[in-house]
Amino acid sequence: MDAWTLGMTWLDYAAVAVFAASGALAAARRNHDVVTFGFFAAVTGVGGGALRDLLIGAPVFWVKQPAYVLVCLAAALMVWLFGSGRWRETILVWLDALGMAAYSVVGAAKAEALGIPALAALVMGVLTATFGGVVRDVLAGEPSVLLRREVYVSAAVLGAGAYVVLRAAGLGASPAGLIAMAAAFSLRGGAIIWRWTLPGFPDHRRRVER
Amino acid sequence: MDAWTLGMTWLDYAAVAVFAASGALAAARRNHDVVTFGFFAAVTGVGGGALRDLLIGAPVFWVKQPAYVLVCLAAALMVWLFGSGRWRETILVWLDALGMAAYSVVGAAKAEALGIPALAALVMGVLTATFGGVVRDVLAGEPSVLLRREVYVSAAVLGAGAYVVLRAAGLGASPAGLIAMAAAFSLRGGAIIWRWTLPGFPDHRRRVER
Amino acid sequence: MDAWTLGMTWLDYAAVAVFAASGALAAARRNHDVVTFGFFAAVTGVGGGALRDLLIGAPVFWVKQPAYVLVCLAAALMVWLFGSGRWRETILVWLDALGMAAYSVVGAAKAEALGIPALAALVMGVLTATFGGVVRDVLAGEPSVLLRREVYVSAAVLGAGAYVVLRAAGLGASPAGLIAMAAAFSLRGGAIIWRWTLPGFPDHRRRVER
């Protein structure tokens, strides 16, 4: 296994873990029990990749490799044990940015490796990076990450798009992946620090955000 | 490619476009940014067909033909550029009725062509015609189209059901499809104009609609 | 067909029927029309099993055997005809407990029979038993069963987990299934009678449950 594959495997598990932790934190916010912690962690951690695999017709990645589910449960346990203090949420938002950046590239790369066309591979990267969080928010009855105005989906689009474009331009998987990941992480990081938003739809009959 | 197949292909793209536009309008109502517009347009436009393909075990239609995703993004761009004025929503509700009518038949026809039994083919038609809108509403945090009392799902049931019954009665795909589509569109159109509703569950302990 | 297989088949249909009835009751609570009754009944009745089949790569069980859909529609009709009085909800909550217990085992057993590893088989059992109800609640705009504090998911975890462990310990499918089902049903039954809850996340900055 070369360094790139090894690095991607580690990133993959790390991304599952931070997404799972964000799911457990959503459960923590409502004082749920430990089983619900595990459920939210698992759905958030592996949901995006599961949808990607279903759509591209690949075997769902965690079904034959339950280590992914164990990682989710371990992340849930960590959140349970070490609480959800304010600084922990700060750490998590940064880990989540890393996970999102990694997943946008991992998702696009897996689709591309299966011969999916570039545009669909981009969509797969975006779905892998965002769908777990969407399901987490819908299940928790919270406003979906899609409805927040901060740059998030856009960073996933940048990551997956950069990977697809760089690969089409002839770059190897390793440099393309590293550059794309750095781009996605930088954009999301900037959005976290400086609260970047894209301009909203310029509607004169504005309604109040719920 | 005969006239029926050609017509169905056009209808298919047209249905994707109008559903995508309705997704973008949902994003417009909350003044979202252009990336969220694209996300909602894509999910609403291809969501119903994607679920149908997953359930019947067919390759998901838009993954290998990214033109569908491009159509969704173009529809989102159109909504962004030309706004969401009142008359545009009126046009859209009628285009949506056409899309729903087309999709209820397209979904049932695709399932039938794969040897799915009649009742399951009917369900596929209904899911194709309604699921994209359901996901749009759930993601947008709006009351699902299922919870509105106006005749909508029923029109999809009529379209898919008429197609399945006419085919079982020996009619060709073209006439069966046209008759079924006309029936679904007429029922939905009547519901739009005259606000038809089916009688609700006759519960004496009525609760107030949220 | 031996007694175990026959019994499982009956339990399977019975579980679909009671879940479908719980979906129809959710529609009844909002005085929906008969078509929406059918939609909610079908989604709740076959949703969990459909997700399980998609994830493990099996053909979706109800697509080729539409009898399952007919059972859902029949359950919806029964709820429509015989109302949703208070005692009927009491009966239903117990039937639902039986359905959940059965499905947690049926789901794990189907996954195990396809060679899915034990931990993933456990997850499949839990998803089969709970996902239909989760979709029902999300579509109906009600707080998801996951957000209620009563022991429910935990009982599904116990049922699927006991089956997987007993099978790994060398027990036959019949005794393992019966013991696991009894365990899940007992835990859920106790939760219904004595309102058992697991301890919630011990957060000092408690927020009020919405």
Residue B1, pLDDT score: 56
A136-162 per-position pLDDT tens digit: 888 888 877 777 777 889 999 999 999
B142-200 per-position pLDDT tens digit: 877 777 777 889 999 999 999 999 999 999 988 999 999 999 999 999 999 998 888 87
Residue A66, pLDDT score: 87
C84: pLDDT confidence band, cut at 50, 70 and 90?
low
C152-207 per-position pLDDT tens digit: 899 999 999 999 999 999 999 889 999 999 999 999 999 999 988 888 777 544 44
In this predicted complex, what is the ipTM? 0.87
Cβ count within 10 A of residue C113: 12
- Whether C70 contacts chain B with CB within 8 A: yes
Cβ–Cβ gap B57/C60 under 8 Å: yes
Which amino acid appears at position C149 of this protein?
R
**Span of A32-41, A168-177, B69-78, C108-117 with lowest mean pLDDT:** A32-41
C135: pLDDT confidence band, cut at 50, 70 and 90?
confident
State both tokens at B17.
């476009």
A162-199 per-position pLDDT tens digit: 999 999 999 998 899 999 999 999 999 999 999 888 87
Cβ–Cβ gap A69/C210 under 8 Å: no
Q: Nearest CA to CA, how far is B161 from chain C (Å)?
A: 13
C residues 109-128 closer than 8 Å to A (CB): 116-120, 123, 126
Residue C32, pLDDT score: 80
A207: pLDDT confidence band, cut at 50, 70 and 90?
very low
Segment A46-56 shows an average pLDDT of: 94
Give CA C133 to chain center in angstroms.
Answer: 7
Residue A203, pLDDT score: 58
Cβ count within 10 A of residue C79: 25
Which residues from C are below 8 Å from A31, CB to CB? Answer: 200-203, 206-207, 209
CB B131 within 8 A of CB B47: yes
Residue C203, pLDDT score: 58
B7-22 per-position pLDDT tens digit: 778 888 988 998 999 8
Q: What's the burial of C35, exposed, middle or buried (CB within 10 Å: 0-12/13-18/19+)?
A: buried
| Angle, helix A86-113 to helix A118-140, in steps of 10 degrees | 150
A200: pLDDT confidence band, cut at 50, 70 and 90?
confident
Segment B60-73 shows an average pLDDT of: 93
- Whether C78 contacts chain B with CB within 8 A: no
Which residues from B are below 8 Å from A56, CB to CB? Answer: 60, 63
C23-76 per-position pLDDT tens digit: 888 888 777 888 888 999 999 999 999 999 999 999 999 998 989 999 999 999
Task: Say yes or no to pLDDT of C209 above 70.
Answer: no
**Span of A135-139, A168-172, B55-59, C83-87 with lowest mean pLDDT:** C83-87
Chains that touch C (3 or more CB pairs under 8 A): A, B
**Span of A67-71, B163-167, C54-58, C138-142 with lowest mean pLDDT:** C138-142
- Whether B147 contacts chain C with CB within 8 A: yes
State the pTM of this model.
Answer: 0.90
**For A141, which of C119, C154, C210 is closest by C-beta distance?**
C210
Distance CA A89, CA A36 (A): 19
Question: Residue-wise over B118-133: b if at least 16 C-beta within 10 A, else e?
Answer: bbbbbbbbbbbbbbbb
Chains that touch A (3 or more CB pairs under 8 A): B, C
- Whether B141 contacts chain C with CB within 8 A: no
Place of tokens 């697991």: C198
Highest averaged pLDDT of the listed ranges A112-126, B23-37, B83-97: A112-126
Q: What is the 3-state secondary structure (H, E, C) of chain B?
A: CCHHHHHHHHHHHHHHHHHHHHHHHHHHCCCCEHHHHHHHHHHHHHHHHHHHHHHHCCCCCCCCCCHHHHHHHHHHHHHHHHCCCHHHHHHHHHHHHHHHHHHHHHHHHHHHHCCCCHHHHHHHHHHHHHHHHHHHHHHHCCCCHHHCCECCHHHHHHHHHHHHHHHHCCCCHHHHHHHHHHHHHHHHHHHHHHCCECCECCCCCCCCCC
Task: Say yes or no to pLDDT of A1 above 70.
Answer: no
